[in-house]
Amino acid sequence: MIGSHAAEFYAKRGDQVIALDNLMRSRLFGSKHKSVEYNWDYLGTYSNITRVVGDVRIEADVRKALGLGVDAVLHAAGQPGVFFSLQNPQEDFSINAQGTLTVLECVRSICPKARFVYCSTNKVYGQGIDALPLKEESKRYTFQGTLRAIPETFPIDQVGHTPYGASKYVADLYVQEYAHAYGLQTGIFRMSCIYGTRQFGFEDQGWLAWFIICSQKNKPLTIYGNGKQVRDVLFVSDLISACDLFFKSQIAHGIYNMGGGPDNTLSLLELLEQIKQNGLTPSPYQLSEWRMFDQKVYVSDISKVKKELHWQPQVSVREGIKRLVNWVKENPSLFP
């Protein structure tokens, strides 16, 4: 999803874009239906996007995509599901950690001056977030006290992360290391919930799209916990703007928490209300036990990225949800 939006953004600007993907998203989530394949075909309509079906774990595939070198790399390929990682920790590691090292090493040998952005995750902070005191309101939890959001300096060590959080953090560390040891110009975006059109949400990943798709199909949902869990959410076009600003900047290396920030947060129960306001009947849902690895509240402190990249989110939660609902409504055949 993120990669396809970035590819479209640069293609529309007239750049030559190369997209590398092994098209495994549907398999990762046990879906028989098309997901990434739709976005792949969509990118095929641009004559200045070259698509390479390949695996980030295979050096020859990454070398083929990089060719004689590129100006900028957005590394968005990954295994993004927590549940998959718990069931398949070795494959999760190979894709997220080993795959990232392969990409870094190929960039170092072919085009070490390329600007590089890595899609990391808030899960690197792990369960340390859950130790923070919370206030329970009627539709959501909030942080108690003066803390409004999680900064990049939040402690990471000596807490549970899930294998996904661990494999992404290994990759995050290597992206840091390739800046320190080899001088690669790397930006690390530790992202909260990124959502947008052309997002094929599943129960395990892409919750906002998943809730909307289920509502469109009138398919029952399971809410783990009580639905008051909160995330800051960022529409994908705002993420791509931040990425572009990092590419254009002179910043040698930076780590940024990336999301909608405290002004763009949403609980699951609030999402159901917004779905209704956009003309869909929210799915019926059943409540189930909390999942131990779900942070109850995560909100990114985006003051660093705002300051250093002169960036801020442009798409409000209300507007972003409207765009995603409309896209799902306009494409019912994609969700059989």
Ligand X SMILES: NC(=O)c1ccc[n+]([C@@H]2O[C@H](COP(=O)([O-])OP(=O)(O)OC[C@H]3O[C@@H](n4cnc5c(N)ncnc54)[C@H](O)[C@@H]3O)[C@@H](O)[C@H]2O)c1
23 interacts with ligand X by CB under 6 A? yes
User: Long-range contacts of range 23-31, CB-CB < 8 Å, 24 or more positions apart?
Assistant: 23/53, 25/200, 26/200, 28/79, 28/80, 28/81, 28/84, 29/81, 29/84, 29/202, 29/204, 29/205, 31/200, 31/202
Please state the closest distance from residue 41 (CB atom) to ligand X, in A.
13
6, 83, 84, 99: which one binds ligand X (CB under 6 A): 99
Query: Which part of the chain contacts ligand X (CB under 6 A), choosing from 54-62, 66-74, 85-93, 246-254?
Result: 54-62
Question: Per CB under 6 A, which of residues 259..278 are in contact with ligand X?
Answer: none
104 interacts with ligand X by CB under 6 A? no
Rounded to whole angstroms, the Cα distance separating 193 from 10 reads 23
Instruction: Print the binding letters for residues 57-86 with ligand X: x by CB under 6 A, - otherwise.
Output: x------------------xxxxx------
Query: Which part of the chain contacts ligand X (CB under 6 A), choosing from 55-63, 139-147, 220-228, 317-325?
Result: 55-63
Residue 240 and residue 6 in contact, taking contact as beta carbons nearer than 8 Å = yes
Report the residue number, 19 or 111, with the smaller CB distance to ligand X: 19
85, 121, 186, 241: which one binds ligand X (CB under 6 A): 121
119 interacts with ligand X by CB under 6 A? yes
Question: Per CB under 6 A, which of residues 24..43 are in contact with ligand X?
Answer: 24-25, 36
Catalytic residue from among 10, 125, 164, 174: 164
7, 19, 21, 165: which one binds ligand X (CB under 6 A): 21
- Per-residue HEC secondary structure of the chain comes to CHHHHHHHHHHHCCCCEEEEECCCHHHHCCCCCCCHHHHHHHHCCCCCEEEEECCCCCHHHHHHHHCCCCCEEEECCCCCCHHHHHHCHHHHHHHHHHHHHHHHHHHHHHCCCCEEEEEEEHHHHHHHHHHCCEEECCCCEEECCCCCCECCCCCCCCCCCHHHHHHHHHHHHHHHHHHHHHCCEEEEEEECEEECCCCCCECCECHHHHHHHHHHHCCCEEEECCCCCEEEEEEHHHHHHHHHHHHHCCCCEEEEEECCCCCCEEEHHHHHHHHHHCCCCCCCEEEECCCCCCCCEECECCHHHHHHHCCCCCCCHHHHHHHHHHHHHHCHHHCC
17, 73, 193, 221: which one binds ligand X (CB under 6 A): 193
Please state the closest distance from residue 224 (CB atom) to ligand X, in A.
17
Measure Cα distances from 330 to 164, 281, 305 in Å.
33, 16, 34
Please state the closest distance from residue 77 (CB atom) to ligand X, in A.
4
56 interacts with ligand X by CB under 6 A? yes
209 interacts with ligand X by CB under 6 A? no
Tell me the residue nearest to ligand X as measured from the CB: 78
Report the residue number, 51 or 57, with the smaller CB distance to ligand X: 57
8, 55, 204, 232: which one binds ligand X (CB under 6 A): 55
Please state the closest distance from residue 13 (CB atom) to ligand X, in A.
20
1 interacts with ligand X by CB under 6 A? yes
Report the residue number, 200 or 311, with the smaller CB distance to ligand X: 200
Query: Which part of the chain contacts ligand X (CB under 6 A), choosing from 82-90, 189-197, 272-280, 325-333?
Result: 189-197
Is 164 an active-site residue?
A: yes
- Hey, which residues are catalytic here? 164
List residues binding ligand X (CB under 6 A): 1-3, 21-25, 36, 55-57, 76-80, 95, 99, 119, 121, 168, 191, 193-194
